[in-house]
Amino acid sequence: MTVLFPALLLSALAPALELFHYPFMQRALIGGVITGLTGGLLGSFTVIRQLSFLAMPSATPRCSALA
């Protein structure tokens, strides 16, 4: 049973892995990884430094208009 499981897993993933033969899918994966890493680093930096960027200025006019 343990020998059969990797073969089943590879046969199930074969169609998904076949997509990476296309250059645009390779570029999309690279872009997604870079975006994820950059977002994670900038998000952590923002939280650690307690920065708010556009959160307060963009929320203030909407909140005052609703009140």
Contact 17, 25 (CB under 8 A): no
pLDDT in tens, 15-35: 888 888 999 999 999 999 999
Q: Helix, strand or coil for residue 35?
A: helix
pTM of the predicted structure, to 2 decimals: 0.57
Q: Rounded to an integer, what distance in angstroms lies between the CA atom of residue 14 and that of residue 61?
A: 52
Contact 45, 39 (CB under 8 A): no
Between 9 and 22, the more confident residue is: 22
Q: Rounded to an integer, what distance in angstroms lies between the CA atom of residue 25 and that of residue 20?
A: 6
Average pLDDT over residues 36-54: 82
